[in-house]
Amino acid sequence: MEPPTIAPRPSWAPDDGPAAKWIKGPMDLAAWKRSLAHRDYLDFLHRVNDAVAGKKTSQWVPQSPGVQKVMSMLEVIKGYTDKHPPEAEMQQRYGNKAYRKWYAELTENAKELINDVLEEVENDGAAAMLEPYLLDSFGNQTRIDYGSGHEAAFIILLLCFEKIGLFTPEDLPAVGLMIFGEYLRACRHLQRLYKMEPAGSHGVYSLDDYQFVPFLWGSSQLIGSNFDPNNYPQPEKVQDHDMESLFLEAITYINDTKTGPFYEHSNQLWNISAVPNWDKINSGLFKMYEAEVLLKFPVVQHFLFCKYFQLTPVPDEN
């Protein structure tokens, strides 16, 4: 029996073109785990997590011109749905084909949208490189589905924006609360309007059909708050507090879109509510995210890499 072949690690050049896929098989997960991209992604997650700790979604945070430009971009993207109402499809539970028309408009305008965001910073023609991240952030036009890999594409886009110089460390609270919050609302609008299918859902035993990071950063927001974790499975105790945290806003969305007892349709979240404090929930969710998202080949095979998000190994410090 011949030993399995190991895919060669890709080489990178600073003048690489548009972001592209490089994880071709499970053997490439080792290269991903020791890469600059993996390190930078986790570092960005932790830095935003720290920046939003104890802050309410509704509270004022500084808004730089870069933050405002990304917010405007999201508003434009969400507005495309006004031109593409759902088509009448009585036989399909998931996947309204009008989504593909919406996606076609996003595709047509993606490069210009990114150029508008980056017009005030030196970006060396980055729009063409980053365009695939924007397109991948809102689902798959063929399957009409959305999942944690698409969510990750948007986070990578934000990380690339930071590396280009659009954001400073002072912007991170707004990145987590305002930009990511508005992105989530745009995605939920698409999910409901076009009946998008969850991508790779594990059903009742997954954290959520579509998202993960709002629970991560949202639990950080609740650290030190008076909202007890064992209260969030009770809709009547969440409805007056959902704008305090991305976590609670996500719970409200689940309650609005699912029927039956919470412990039945969201068993993992039900179990997590027994954890005594938000610090432990937050640290536990980081471990869960890495294990269930960042180290799962079905998810990371779709990740895109570019000169701002490189699969090259972290340099040896010795």
Q: What is the total count of domains within the chain?
A: 1
Evaluate whether 15 touches 125 at the Cβ level (below 8 Å).
no
Neighbouring residues of 132: CB distance < 8 A, sequence distance ≥ 6:
18, 19, 20, 304
In a domain, 317, yes or no: no
Q: Which domain holds residue 146?
A: 20-305
DSSP 171-237: GHHHIIIIIHHHHHHHHHHHHHHTTPEETT--GGGSS-SS-SHHHHHHHHHTTT-S--GGGTTSHHH
The pLDDT assigned to 200 comes to: 72
| C-alpha to C-alpha distances, 313 to 32, 34, 39, 286, nearest whole angstrom | 8, 5, 9, 22
Q: What is the mean pLDDT of each run of 10 residues along the chain (318 residues)?
A: 42 64 92 96 99 96 97 98 88 84 98 96 91 97 95 98 97 98 98 92 66 97 96 91 94 92 90 96 96 93 94 82
In a domain, 208, yes or no: yes
Confirm whether pTM is higher than 0.75.
yes
Q: Which structure tokens are listed for 130?
A: 């980053």
In a domain, 84, yes or no: yes
In a domain, 140, yes or no: yes
The three-class DSSP label of residue 153 is helix
The pLDDT assigned to 77 comes to: 98
- Report the sign of the C-alpha dihedral through residues 244, 248, 250, 252, in that order: negative
The pLDDT assigned to 35 comes to: 96
In a domain, 219, yes or no: yes
Q: What CATH number is associated with residue 269? A: 1.20.120.1150
Backbone angles phi, psi at 197, to 5 degrees: -85, 140
In a domain, 318, yes or no: no
The pLDDT assigned to 202 comes to: 53
Neighbours of 13 (CB within 10 A): 7
**Rounded CA gap, 88 and 85, in Å?**
9
In a domain, 172, yes or no: yes
Backbone angles phi, psi at 152, to 5 degrees: -65, -35
The pLDDT assigned to 8 comes to: 46
In a domain, 7, yes or no: no
